[in-house]
Amino acid sequence: MEISEIYLIPENQLFNTAYEIAFLVKGRAVDIYFIATAKVTNSILITNDRIMAKNVKKAGIEAYTLLKSLTKP
């Protein structure tokens, strides 16, 4: 499968959302921007970081922890 389009989101479109999320989840700055991007683009966030997944869910965004989903019991 070839990806034919790349969407760039200007910083000024993410900042206000990131600012609001920062006070809501009190997470790491880089995580806040990933969460804000997921929110602005109405995306599902997939991560290997459990703390980030927890913060994504606090922000009301669907998230999955990849390693947990792939680990067999």
Question: For the chain, which residues score pLDDT lower than 70?
Answer: 1, 3, 68-73
How many domains, in total, are found in the chain? 1
Q: Which structural domain, as residue segments, surrounds residue 21?
A: 11-70
User: Is 30 inside a domain boundary?
Assistant: yes
User: Is 3 inside a domain boundary?
Assistant: no
pTM for the structure as a whole: 0.78
User: Is 2 inside a domain boundary?
Assistant: no
Rounded to an integer, what distance in angstroms lies between the CA atom of residue 56 and that of residue 25? Answer: 8
The pLDDT score that the predictor gives to residue 17 is 93
The pLDDT score that the predictor gives to residue 38 is 93
Rounded to an integer, what distance in angstroms lies between the CA atom of residue 42 and that of residue 50? Answer: 20
Q: What is the sign of the dihedral through the CA atoms of 10, 27, 53 and 24?
A: negative
The pLDDT score that the predictor gives to residue 22 is 94
